[in-house]
Amino acid sequence: MTAMMKATVFVAPGRIELVDKPIPAIGPNDALIRITTTTICGTDVHILKGEYPVVPGLTIGHEPVGVIEKLGSAVQGYQEGQRVIAGAICPNFNSYAAQDGAPSQDGSYLIPLHQCGGHGYKATAGWRFGNLIDGTQAEYVLVPDAQANLAPIPDGLSDEQVLMCPDIMSTGFKGAENANIKLGDTVVVFAQGPIGLCATAGARLMGATTVIAVDGNDHRLGISKVMGADVTLNFRNCDVVSEVMKLTGGRGADSAIEALGTQATFEQALRVLKPGGTLSSLGVYSSDLTIPMSAFAAGLGDHRINTALCPGGKERMRRLMNVVASQRVDLGVLVTHTYKLDDIVAAYELFANQRDGVLKVAIKPN
Ligand SMILES: [Zn+2]
């Protein structure tokens, strides 16, 4: 008889369900992870609402913390029973795309399916969990290319302390890394959801000395201060662009990080920049963007616009866990609620409606 597990699957727009599925069989390059903690991402809510399409029946979720249950025959240097995480993005690091510095855009596993030429370049294809293969909101998950993606958890760190590493922290910090921040810079971070809060913490770690956090929710702006913001601006109470100009003596910010994915935040991020400044975009946009001519200096302003998908891989995860272990930042404050996997539908309801001051929900299969 096939051993079964519980898994959270997308059924139809507006509907996810906890169902029984077979525990997956492993191939030589895989690892089977028993999930001890996972979480729900804003992207999962887009999937639930039908705004981001996935195949019905797919297990969703892409943030795994767990224990190695079984290792594929080709995976070396790990032990069964070891506590590990894997990035939300699981490249295999063999492709031209990965070796060209864009591993998150690595679709080389699609080559045998004739969906990706022979090169591996395919935008966003590094995101496999809960997108193209079964994800982490289950009792077990199969990690592909495990040798490249399994990262052992340092002793002494709890599941909650590393739960942000696979996605939220990796993405938020990438926003800061992509912002060309120099010591003494002024950086404005638009939106203070979990990713924006990590971008705020990352901007400070990168050496910004004036971090300005922008959101419409005072509760979140309170947490921005804990995460390292020097100034908080509630866009409902002020004109953000003129406030930033005031704060910078009319110079403009050195960098702006966009962590939401709307025309309004993208446009304001451009408008607060100094000439020569960098806009680091993290948002997932769901419609066309317009670039305002005046803020763009007609294309002659030496602005840089960088975009990113969450970086994955074991070296990325090792570094992020080092940041946590060295107590440079405490992301435990982002985990505001805990639910059993059995109650995940209720957890989605809470998270999707942003009730009770929720930031991130820890989901525990047992
Ligand atoms: Zn995510």
Can you give the pLDDT at residue 347? 98
- Cα-to-centroid distance, 61 and ligand 1 (Å): 8
Taking residue 183's Cβ as centre, other Cβ atoms within 10 Å add up to 8
- Cα-to-centroid distance, 206 and ligand 1 (Å): 23
Q: Which residues of the chain have pLDDT under 50?
A: none
- Cα-to-centroid distance, 45 and ligand 1 (Å): 10
Can you give the pLDDT at residue 345? 97
Look at residues 31, 8, 30 and name the one whose alpha carbon lies nearest to residue 18: 8
Residue 1 burial (C-beta neighbours within 10 Å; 0-12, 13-18, 19+): exposed
Say if residues 253 and 189 touch (Cβ distance below 8 Å). no
Residues 270-320: tens digit of each pLDDT: 999 999 999 999 999 988 999 988 889 999 999 999 999 999 999 999 999
Can you give the pLDDT at residue 164? 97
Can you give the pLDDT at residue 357? 92
- Cα-to-centroid distance, 252 and ligand 1 (Å): 31
- Cα-to-centroid distance, 30 and ligand 1 (Å): 22
Can you give the pLDDT at residue 217? 96
Can you give the pLDDT at residue 290? 93
Say if residues 54 and 277 touch (Cβ distance below 8 Å). no
- Cα-to-centroid distance, 354 and ligand 1 (Å): 16
How many angstroms separate the CA atoms of 48 and 352, rounded?
9
- Cα-to-centroid distance, 41 and ligand 1 (Å): 5
Can you give the pLDDT at residue 226? 96
- Cα-to-centroid distance, 226 and ligand 1 (Å): 22
Can you give the pLDDT at residue 286? 85
- Cα-to-centroid distance, 238 and ligand 1 (Å): 30
Look at residues 188, 156, 144 and name the one whose alpha carbon lies nearest to residue 322: 156
Say if residues 18 and 149 touch (Cβ distance below 8 Å). no
Cβ-Cβ contacts under 8 Å for 60 (sequence gap 6 or more) = 8, 9, 10, 16, 44, 47, 48, 54, 130, 135, 137
- Cα-to-centroid distance, 58 and ligand 1 (Å): 16
- Cα-to-centroid distance, 242 and ligand 1 (Å): 32
* Tokens describing residue 353: 């409606």
Can you give the pLDDT at residue 25? 96
Can you give the pLDDT at residue 2? 85
Say if residues 234 and 164 touch (Cβ distance below 8 Å). no
Look at residues 320, 179, 202, 331 and name the one whose alpha carbon lies nearest to residue 256: 179
Give all domains of the chain, ordered by start, each with its CATH number: 4-90+126-167+310-364 (3.90.180.10), 169-307 (3.40.50.720)
- Cα-to-centroid distance, 127 and ligand 1 (Å): 9
Can you give the pLDDT at residue 120? 87
- Name the DSSP letter for residue 116: S
Question: Which pTM was predicted?
Answer: 0.97
